Amino acid sequence: MAAELHVALVAADREVWSGEATLVVARTTSGDIGVMPGHQPLLGVLESGPVTIRTSDGGTVVAAVHGGFISFADDKLSLLAEIAELSDEIDVQRAERALERAKSEADASAERRADVRLRAVSAR
């Protein structure tokens, strides 16, 4: 049996990405967690951070996820996030500008969001 899991990355207003993968790495509140096919059923709270999905055709998909949940059962994994963006969709310059602005305005949550975006791009 080909060991792969079906991943659905879902944001509040759209499905961001879905497909087959061999490994998914995400950051939960208690640390990074890697899920491979056959993992024990899991339901966790995600931290803001990049999520790495290794697809079954050998590619890598990185997405910036701002809060949310990871749920895994029966080789089906769903990543739920209020806001999720694929790293290819992220506008680096805009994120950098947002980071600058957030730093100057001492807006902690905006700074974290911009930081997560940039980290997702650099992990690509």
Partner 1 sequence: MGAQLRVYKRRIRSVTATKKITKAMEMIAASRVVKAQRKVAASTPYAQELTRAVTAVGTGSNTKHPLTTQAETVTRAAVLLLTSDRGLAGAFNSNAIKAAEQLTERLEREGKQVDTYIVGRRGVAHYNFRERRIADQWTGFTDEPAYGDAKKVAAPLIEAIEKETADGGVDELHIVYTEFVSMMTQTAVEARLLPLSLDEVAEKTATKGEILPLFDFEPSAEDVLDALLPRYVESRIYNALLQSAASKHAATRRAMKSATDNAGELINTLSRLANAARQAEITQEISEIVGGSAALADATAGSDK
Q: Which of 4, 6, 20, 33 binds partner 1 (CB under 8 A)?
A: 33
Q: Which C-beta is closer to partner 1: that of 15 or that of 88?
A: 15
* DSSP-based three-state secondary structure for 124: coil
Contact 110, 94 (CB under 8 A): no
Site for partner 1 in 55-84 (CB under 8 A): 68-71, 73-74, 78, 80, 82
Q: Which C-beta is closer to partner 1: that of 29 or that of 104?
A: 29
* DSSP-based three-state secondary structure for 61: strand
Quick one: angle between helices 108-122 and 92-105, nearest 10? 150
Residue type, 9: L
Binding residues for partner 1 (CB under 8 A): 8, 10-15, 28-30, 33, 40-45, 68-71, 73-74, 78, 80, 82
